[in-house]
Amino acid sequence: MGDSIKSFDCAGKTTREINAFLKSAARMGHDAEVVLQTPDCRHNIAVGIVDPLHIRIEGHVGYYCGGLCDGVHIHIAGDAGWGLAENLMQGRVTLEGNAGAAAGATLRGGTLVVKGDAGARCGVAMKGGTLVVGGSVGAMSAFMMQKGALIICGDAGEALGDSLYEGKIFLRGRADSLGSDAVLADLTEADVVLLSLALDEAGIVADAAGFQKIVSGKRLYNYSTKEKEIWRLAL
């Protein structure tokens, strides 16, 4: 369509009006970037957009930004609250600052990049996609992860990867502790390729070979009376 950049000042607008504007631009196949100004840490911005759209948000956002989206590209020049890009299906969300709790919760596909730190329960119940954190993550990150890759360039809080089913966690720093049934595994060549590509795309300079890999020990898949202690911890 060759559209020009559209700007939208969020000041004085309801969240419903902001999202209606974005959905309308996406539905009409707006090619150029849409710029949101004065987000003022507001919750639920750019939620539920299921047609491709490039969005640049100039400032800090609140909870659930970019949630329930499919095929969007969102760049946020600030911090984000809880539940950033929750359940993203496809597309890419990049946050320049720090994220609150549960960033990338139930991520299904696409890529979420948090250049700063992410709070507790980052990547909780991930079901696919790639989540790259340039800084550190909080406690219980990747809790009950089922698929996808969580890449942590800094440190992790307590119980990293607790009760994860599948998926891979890559950690460059140290974890306060690993969660129940989260175990260290050898980094394969395929892992190094995946890491190099993801870090490169995220604009993060880090040696892919310097990461530890954490996966499921799969001992929680079936109940065993010999593993009562693990179950006691898991439940």
Partner 1 sequence: MCGIAGILMRQPGRSDAPIGATLLKMALSLQHRGRDSAGFALFSGSVGANSLRLQAVLPEGAPLPEPQAVIEASAGLLADLRPEKGGFSAAVREPLPEGMRIDTLVAALESNLPGVSVSAVGRVMRVYKSVGVVDALAEEVCGITGSHGIAHLRLATESRIDPCHAQPFWGRPFPDVSVTHNGHITNYYKLRRRMQEKGYRFASENDSEIIGVLIGEKLEAGADLGGAVEELSGELDGSFSFIAAAPGGIAVGRDPIATKPLLFVETDECVALASEPQALRRVVGDTARIREIRPKETRAWEIA
- Candidates 67, 110, 119, 129; binder of partner 1 (CB under 8 A) is 119
Q: Is the dihedral of CA 114, 182, 177, 190 positive or negative?
A: negative
> Which is nearest to 131 in space by CA: 43, 216, 212, 199?
199
Stretch that binds partner 1, among 3-11, 19-27, 133-141, 147-155 (CB under 8 A): 133-141
Nearer residue to partner 1 within complex by CB, 52 or 59? 59
> Which is nearest to 124 in space by CA: 95, 93, 160, 89?
160
- Candidates 67, 91, 100, 104; binder of partner 1 (CB under 8 A) is 100
DSSP secondary structure letter of residue 210: G
- Candidates 25, 57, 65, 82; binder of partner 1 (CB under 8 A) is 82
Amino acid identity of residue 164, one-letter, is L
Beta bridge partners of 168: 149
Residue 60 within binding range of partner 1, rule CB under 8 A: yes
Q: N- to C-terminal Cα distance for the chain? A: 54
Give one DSSP letter per residue of 157-169, joined into a string: -SSBTTT--S-EE
| Residues in CB range of 222: below 8 A, 6 or more apart | none
Nearer residue to partner 1 within complex by CB, 120 or 208? 120
- Candidates 66, 81, 123, 148; binder of partner 1 (CB under 8 A) is 81
Nearer residue to partner 1 within complex by CB, 158 or 227? 158
Nearer residue to partner 1 within complex by CB, 149 or 160? 160
CA distance 134 to 97: 10
Q: Is the dihedral of CA 217, 187, 106, 122 positive or negative?
A: positive
Query: Rounded to the nearest whole angstrom, what is the least distance from the CB of residue 184 to partner 1 in the complex?
Result: 24
Site string for partner 1, 20-59 (x = CB under 8 A): --------------------xxxx---------------x
Number of residues that bind partner 1 (CB under 8 A): 21
Contacts (CB under 8 A) with partner 1, residues 136-155 = 138-140
Q: Which residues bind partner 1 (CB under 8 A)?
A: 40-43, 59-60, 62, 78-79, 81-82, 98, 100-101, 119-120, 138-140, 157-158
